[in-house]
Structure 1
Amino acid sequence: MMLQSARRRSLLFTRSISRPLSTETNPPSPSLSNVPPPLPSNRSRVRFSPAPRPPQPSSYSPRVQISLPYLLPPNFGRNQVLSVPDSTRALLEEITRSFDAPIRYAFAYGSGVFAQKGYSKADASPPLLDFIFAVNHPSHWHSINIHQNPSHYPLHARFLGSSFIAQFQGIEPGIWFNAYVPMNGVMIKYGVTTIDNLCSDLINWNTLYLSGRMHKPIRIIKDDTRVRLTQQVNLVSALRTALLTLPESFEEDLLFEKMAAFSYGGDFRMRFGGENPRKVQNIVSAQRAQFKELYWRLARGLPDVHWSQTSTIINQDMFPRARSALVRKLPSNLLHRLETQYSRKYPVPSPDADSSAFWLSVGGDKTLSSVIEQELREIVRGPATVQSLKGLVTTGLNKSIRYSAAKVGKWWSSRNSSES
């Protein structure tokens, strides 16, 4: 009875997000059957909060799926499983496993995990290893973590307690960062959010703070069925949005740069020296293979998009009907903003009176690309600014100054190198 109830809830959740994925027309392969994988025959190890899987031997293959129960086919979302060197993988898993507090989903990202132009292993100050942990109950999680790792938190946070930390974490974009934490011989920064907040941002693009980071290559350390599904929606949404801002024919690098830039567009740090102005180009130039692994299969599933696996040129149909089909599948927050903008420009027909005609007019608008980019900047600007200010509380004044100084130093170095 409990298993049937869990499956019914999973089916309802799957249906609720099926709209953004519904334009994929390629017939499913035999390996992507709708029949769920069989339940394990031996479930002797049952724990409320299972630890991350232990490091695998050197023969580990990144194509091997992390087990996902129930409704997802065995190969669903295989594009999300990106390989890293065995030494890096083992380090990431060892760090994650060292936390006593239960982590439901974890990933690592940034220049400490995947190569970026401008960084090298010979650097005197290697980049921080960046983590995001999604948990069920933040107050409980921080209570356990403060007891285990009190030095990760500033003094005032330890004094005010886990309830204060959880409430402060909940301020949009809904994440708490602990930075400059020494663990296993490296320096890390980790953010804590709730599984609900993460999945909501992946589907709706409420803030693009978490979903935007996950448009770029990440290394999944501990997986979760719900996040695997919503992350696939997030990647398809990024692909559709980027296509709407690009011409009929373009290089794949331009597509990757568009998607990598979504979370930076409205971030004030990009304008005032808090980030390397060539950060997006540096990411794409060093991670081209990972971007293609993330997006190529998804693009092949979209109608009116033509991208050979052996080619770097992408072509798309620019007819208003094809573009309006892409627009109508955008995440709800961005779609609502576009509807508000174009309701002023095209009062007749209104979206309520004739939805198809309204979106057909939007799809044929010559300024659609610039309108989308402007709305993306508006989505990012507020939450990015708030999170930067939250850093004064979450990491403390000294660490905030240290982190900001490091960012400005990178910006200054990149400026000098570009001028020379």
Structure 2
Amino acid sequence: MHARGSLVSHFQVQRSRAFGSCHAMVRCLLTATDVKEALAAPLQDLPAVDFAFAYGSGVFQQPGNLILSRNEVSYVAEKVGAGVHFNAFVPWKDKMIKYGVIGMGDLAEDLLTWKSLYISGRLQKPVRFLVDNWDMAKVNQVNLHAAASTALLLLPSQFSEEDFYAKICGLSYMGDIRMLFAEDKNKVQRIVKGSSKHFHRLYRAPLFHMAAEGILELPRTFGDVRSLIKRDCSPYATKSLVRSLPETILQKMFPYVRIRHNSELLLSSGEASEHVQRAIRSIVRSSSTKQMLSGLLAAGALNSLQYVWKKTMKALRSRAPRKSD
């Protein structure tokens, strides 16, 4: 084994899918080709990196201090949480890493339906795919297209490319109870500003597709985050965007919309925006609450208090007024 070791090989299981989520990590791994070297190298410089692993058989056991009971984690993650278990206190050399585990079925379901908008929300942002034996990246294209449609419904008739990415990035934080006290209020802006090129690559295809359908108009300077994009706010365009929303969003919207001619949605742009926001907040509020309770049960009181304390202090620093020079 290489002197720097390999985090991937530390998880001694047959991998179905693994991805790393950290905007700094994405920049570091952009040109990397070897999975083990690519994953090990950033740990030398980054203070914290998030990973998630998905398996058809659910939660797994790891050697050493990574051992977790399959039954305990599965019960807590699936019955209490949002279907994913995160362990935020794993020492790796002189770093601390956070990793998550989710069943393959739960992963696919969330990507396609936004049942919890938890892992699907993470995969709406740039990530580095480390291992993917199930072509789940293709399934995620549905998630990306849905995120693009949702963002357009929430934006005005004219907006910048950076506004578009910020709206997408913020979807999974809408209604998140942690944003009240334990999250950096500038988190969305920091992610977008540090990963704008990666967001552009991720959403280039969905935006071109929508432009071809006449839903929006891309500028000649497309790729410049300051360039302005125009969207069609007509009922026809709005209906087209609404129809491409995930199942869970539509189910929550139906009680509030006018339905006519075999459930054809008749919404103005403003109505659609209002109902979509309400639906997303409901989903995220529920899943973030469940996931927080799951973390408290799985990690133990002391670890959880330490983790929440660190997150809260970071959040408070982001909210503190800056001193003028």
User: Structure 1-normalised TM-score?
Assistant: 0.67
**1:415 aligned residue:** 319
Q: Alpha carbons of 1:215 and 1:243: their partners in 2 closer, same or farther (altered >3 Å)?
A: same
Give the letter aligned to residue 173 of structure 1.
Answer: A
User: How big is the alpha-carbon RMSD for the aligned residues of Structure 1 and Structure 2?
Assistant: 2.3
**1:196 aligned residue:** 105
- Equivalent residues in 2 for 1:10-159 (5 A)? 94-111=6-23, 113-114=25-26, 127-138=47-58, 141-142=60-61, 145=62, 148-149=63-64, 151-152=65-66
Q: 2:252 aligns with which of 337, 340, 343?
A: 337
Q: Alpha carbons of 1:310 and 1:202: their partners in 2 closer, same or farther (altered >3 Å)?
A: closer
- Check if 1:232 corresponds to 2:141: yes
Helix, strand or coil at the partner of 2:138:
helix
**1:371 aligned residue:** 275
**2:217 aligned residue:** 306
Asked if the contact 1:112–1:130 (Cα under 8 Å) also holds between the matched residues in 2, the reply is no
Q: 2:77 aligns with which of 169, 174, 179?
A: 169
Q: Alpha carbons of 1:300 and 1:268: their partners in 2 closer, same or farther (altered >3 Å)?
A: same
- Equivalent residues in 2 for 1:201-280 (5 A)? 201-271=110-180, 273-280=181-188
Distance (Å, rounded) in 2 between the aligned partners of 1:230 and 1:219: 16
- Check if 1:398 corresponds to 2:302: yes
Asked if the contact 1:112–1:127 (Cα under 8 Å) also holds between the matched residues in 2, the reply is no
Distance (Å, rounded) in 1 between the aligned partners of 2:136 and 2:16: 10
**1:316 aligned residue:** 231
Asked if the contact 2:47–2:95 (Cα under 8 Å) also holds between the matched residues in 1, the reply is no
Q: Alpha carbons of 1:398 and 1:341: their partners in 2 closer, same or farther (altered >3 Å)?
A: same
Helix, strand or coil at the partner of 2:182:
coil
Distance (Å, rounded) in 1 between the aligned partners of 2:71 and 2:295: 18
Q: Give ranges in structure 2 of 5+ residues lacking alignment.
A: 28-44
Helix, strand or coil at the partner of 2:249:
helix
Per-residue Cα deviation, 1:334-360 (whole angstroms, up to 9, x for no partner): 011112211xxx3xxx35x4333xx1x
Per-residue Cα deviation, 1:274-332 (whole angstroms, up to 9, x for no partner): 00111111111111111111102220011222224345211111111111011011101
- Equivalent residues in 2 for 1:381-392 (5 A)? 381-392=285-296
Asked if the contact 2:19–2:127 (Cα under 8 Å) also holds between the matched residues in 1, the reply is yes
Asked if the contact 1:300–1:306 (Cα under 8 Å) also holds between the matched residues in 2, the reply is no
Asked if the contact 2:23–2:194 (Cα under 8 Å) also holds between the matched residues in 1, the reply is no
Give the letter aligned to residue 306 of structure 1.
Answer: E
Q: Alpha carbons of 1:293 and 1:402: their partners in 2 closer, same or farther (altered >3 Å)?
A: same
Asked if the contact 1:111–1:127 (Cα under 8 Å) also holds between the matched residues in 2, the reply is no
Q: 2:204 aligns with which of 281, 296, 313?
A: 296
Asked if the contact 1:133–1:191 (Cα under 8 Å) also holds between the matched residues in 2, the reply is yes
Q: Alpha carbons of 1:409 and 1:111: their partners in 2 closer, same or farther (altered >3 Å)?
A: farther
> 1:126 Cα deviation (Å)?
5.3
Q: Alpha carbons of 1:188 and 1:310: their partners in 2 closer, same or farther (altered >3 Å)?
A: closer
> 1:94 Cα deviation (Å)?
2.3
Asked if the contact 2:249–2:279 (Cα under 8 Å) also holds between the matched residues in 1, the reply is yes
Q: 1:327 aligns with which of 242, 252, 260?
A: 242
Per-residue Cα deviation, 1:29-57 (whole angstroms, up to 9, x for no partner): xxxxxxxxxxxxxxxxxxxxxxxxx99xx
Aligned length: 299
> 1:169 Cα deviation (Å)?
2.3
Give the letter aligned to residue 129 of structure 1.
Answer: V
- In proportion to residue count, which structure has more helix? 2
Helix, strand or coil at the partner of 2:54:
strand
Q: Alpha carbons of 1:211 and 1:391: their partners in 2 closer, same or farther (altered >3 Å)?
A: same
Per-residue Cα deviation, 1:145-183 (whole angstroms, up to 9, x for no partner): 2xx13x235xxxx6xx42232222222410112222112
- In proportion to residue count, which structure has more strand? 2
> 1:209 Cα deviation (Å)?
0.6
Distance (Å, rounded) in 2 between the aligned partners of 1:113 and 1:230: 23
Select the structure with the greater relative contact order (CA < 8 A; seq sep ≥ 6).
2
- Check if 1:354 corresponds to 2:262: yes
Per-residue Cα deviation, 1:62-93 (whole angstroms, up to 9, x for no partner): xxxxxxxxxxxxxxxxxxxxxxxxxxxx98x9
Q: 1:286 aligns with which of 194, 198, 202?
A: 194
> 1:111 Cα deviation (Å)?
4.9
> 1:419 Cα deviation (Å)?
6.3
Helix, strand or coil at the partner of 1:138:
coil
Asked if the contact 1:202–1:233 (Cα under 8 Å) also holds between the matched residues in 2, the reply is yes
Per-residue Cα deviation, 1:350-395 (whole angstroms, up to 9, x for no partner): 35x4333xx1x21x25332122112101011011111111112222
Asked if the contact 2:107–2:119 (Cα under 8 Å) also holds between the matched residues in 1, the reply is yes
